[in-house]
Amino acid sequence: MHLNIKTARLAGLFYLLQIPLGLFGILYEPTMLVVPNQVAATVSNILANEFLFRLSIVSAIACAIITVLTALLISNLLRPLQQYWANGIVLFAALAAPISMINELNHVAVLLLAKSSSPAAGPATYQVETLIAGLLTVHQYGLKITGIFFGLWLLPMGLLMIKLKAIPKIIGMLLLVTCAGYLVDFIVFFIYPGSTLVVSEYTWLGEVLMLLWLFVARNKQTTP
């Protein structure tokens, strides 16, 4: 097969965009705004940073859309190797996107409830605080469910990269490890919700190498 360099570079650009969008859209709220076991303090933080909170919602949705576009480009790039697995890349990314976007409605509801319990609207009631806490928790569960498919889209990608003889097979193998990391995170979070173990924090190297390959790949014969 001959690599389409323009497709590879565009896929690399979209893949790269997922990093800031994902980090801000997913990590901003729990790390900067949520105060564990203190709903009132969390509500105050959200209201004080409403624009950034809204921006994190937009970033998460944009990341989901760009992931699908990335999957389409990578699928088109690797399709000559095997159409079945190439279609799998798009399928899993396409399943992740709507789940991720619908999950952001939990954050929209949190914002609406937080504004309804703002000082201007009177003191927050226990019921409202309970709802906000519940929605934030449901959002975290939604992220882990989305993570299933953000992991699984790497499975066919990794298998196809292993078939490329012109590059080290380690890229494809590490993509499979990254996939496993996301799946383990899902299982651990649902079975042991109090656990702080996040395996995917240590298995991301495959995606980094894949991203680098998209930017440095050359248009030469790469027979499977």
Complete DSSP assignment for the chain: -B--HHHHHHHHHHHHHHHHHHIIIIIHIIIII--TT-HHHHHHHHHHTHHHHHHHHHHHHHHHHHHHHHHHHHHHHHTTT-HHHHHHHHHHHHHHHHHHHHHHHHHHHHHHHHHHTSGGG-PPPHHHHHHHHHHHHHHHHHHHHHHHHHHHTHHHHHHHHHH-TTS-THHHHHHHHHHHHHHHHHHHHHHSTT----GGGGSTHHHHHHHHHHHH--SSB---
209 lies in a domain? Answer: yes
157 lies in a domain? Answer: yes
pLDDT of amino acid 167? 83
pLDDT of amino acid 145? 96
Domain that holds residue 67: 5-214
pLDDT of amino acid 74? 96
220 lies in a domain? Answer: no
pLDDT of amino acid 168? 85
39 lies in a domain? Answer: yes
* Inter-residue contact 141 to 156 (CB < 8 Å): no
pLDDT of amino acid 118? 57
Residues 6+ apart with CB under 8 A from 58: 25
pTM beyond 0.85, yes or no: yes
pLDDT of amino acid 221? 45
219 lies in a domain? Answer: no
pLDDT of amino acid 37? 84
195 lies in a domain? Answer: yes
Measured distance CA(80)–CA(41) in Å, rounded: 54
223 lies in a domain? Answer: no
125 lies in a domain? Answer: yes
**What separation, in Å, do the N-terminal and C-terminal C-alpha atoms of the chain show?**
8
pLDDT of amino acid 1? 63
Query: pLDDT (tens digit, 9 = 90+) per residue, 36-62?
Result: 889 889 999 999 999 999 999 999 999
Q: How many domains does the chain contain in total?
A: 1
Regions in the chain scoring below 70 on pLDDT = 1, 118-124, 219-224
